[in-house]
Structure 1
């Protein structure tokens, strides 16, 4: 059974999109720094796909019909951050600081926990140092 022309258009468009988008598009190729660190680009990738066609029936069903069709696709690649890895730390450097509130909260969580623990230790020390008073 022969493939329908629309199927051929869709397969061609999808194969071309698949060749354009791979893991190196989203997480870029690593760039090594002189100090032994690595920098990776992180990108937001969006793509769309559309296909359409037409088929005009005639009296003769065995004819090729005056078929008309089309397909297309689009890709948008926007860098959003750099992932910096070195011997001391792993850090995410966002290009748009306003859109990554959750990441900031996660990054600040260990510091917040440490401050809360310090507050409890300070309170425990104050309680231990208090002298009982007697009323006469």
Structure 2
């Protein structure tokens, strides 16, 4: 059985929407163009891209030439994630940190610092014990 795709106005609408999204989002959106400073440092932006779209429509009327009504929408979100910094042959990743928003996130961010402080306290107590 042949798979013949029936071309409808909805297909045209979705094709046009996807073409516009392709125009907005390409590989240069995720890994940006390198920027070279006068002192020889190269900075490359890295981003996270999220997008979505929806389309719908339908035929209405009971005449020989049915009328089509439809619509489409799309959204693109670009979030900076990090910068790759290349200097003297060494590459470093410099993340773009988003501040912790929720209490749980703040606590998780503080855990390493608290553990370091507790370890330092325990080490000091051991040293004092060894002195006496």
Normalising by the residue count of structure 1, what TM-score does the alignment of the two structures yield?
Answer: 0.63
Shift of 1:23: 1.1
CA distance in 2, matches of 1:85, 1:97: 23
Equivalent of 2:48 in 44, 48, 54: 44
Which is worse superposed, 89-98 or 72-81? 89-98
Equivalent of 1:21 in 22, 25, 28: 25
Structure 1 residue runs of 5 or longer lacking an equivalent are 100-136
| Structure 1: 4+ residue segments shifted above 6 A | none
Question: Which protein is richer in strand relative to its size?
Answer: 2
**1:96 aligned residue:** 97
Shift of 1:89: 1.6
Listed one character per residue, the Cα deviations across residues 28-87 of structure 1 (whole Å, up to 9, x for unaligned) are 1110022222100011100001010112352x4xx2312111111110011111110111
CA distance in 2, matches of 1:12, 1:35: 45
Q: Aligned-pair RMSD on alpha carbons? A: 2.1
> Radius of gyration: which is bigger?
1
CA distance in 2, matches of 1:68, 1:86: 56
Structure 2 residue runs of 5 or longer lacking an equivalent are 101-132
Listed one character per residue, the Cα deviations across residues 6-44 of structure 1 (whole Å, up to 9, x for unaligned) are 000001000010011111111111100222221000111
CA distance in 2, matches of 1:28, 1:64: 49
**1:71 aligned residue:** 72
Is 1:8 aligned to residue 9 of structure 2? no
